[in-house]
Amino acid sequence: MDDLSHYSVIERARGGDTLEIRALRPDDRAGLLAAIDHTSAQSLQLRFFGARRRFTDEEIAFFLEVDFKRHVALVATAEHEGESVIVGGARYILTQPGRAEVAVTVIDACQGQGIGSILMHHLVTIARRSGLTDLAAEVLSDNARMLKLFERCRLPLSMKREAGVIHVVLRLNS
């Protein structure tokens, strides 16, 4: 497979904005932190299962230290006031052979434009090329947008509810 650390494609969001979907880079620290600052407390709660506004240096390092084998991360960037800014991200982390845990986040101002679906499409493509068979996620039961995103993937899907969390598995070998 090609070197995923150089992954880059141009897409168009539902509203017509041009997006670059590309590999997360180690020098994206400032952009990643700015994206977090532009994400509401509610969206962060849904993504991280708790009220998070700040992350430790170790957590930030973990987000940025991507090897593109066991840990794959993509970002969506868009032009804003003449600068390329991160408006969303998606990643998967291998949890066992053939299976990875997946997560997607889009800043609030850009939600509803199909950016999460675009990121998920590229992540699924990469996962398939890497030989994965399943992508799994734990989603808070009130995170309707994320559940809808997984349903829109049009992949075989299983969901299991347990104490306010829905365990989702997407089958990639359909």
Q: What is the CATH number of the domain that holds 9?
A: 3.40.630.30
pLDDT (tens digit per residue) in 72-93: 999 999 998 889 999 999 999 9
| Average pLDDT of the residues in 107-113 | 87
pLDDT (tens digit per residue) in 24-53: 998 999 898 888 777 766 666 656 656 665
User: How are beta strands 134-140 and 99-106 bridged, if at all?
Assistant: parallel
Domain count for the chain? 1
- Sign of torsion over alpha carbons 171, 61, 139, 165: positive
- Residue numbers of the domain that contains 27: 4-171
Can you give the pTM of this predicted structure?
A: 0.89
Contact between residue 77 and residue 87 where contact means Cβ atoms under 8 Å apart: yes
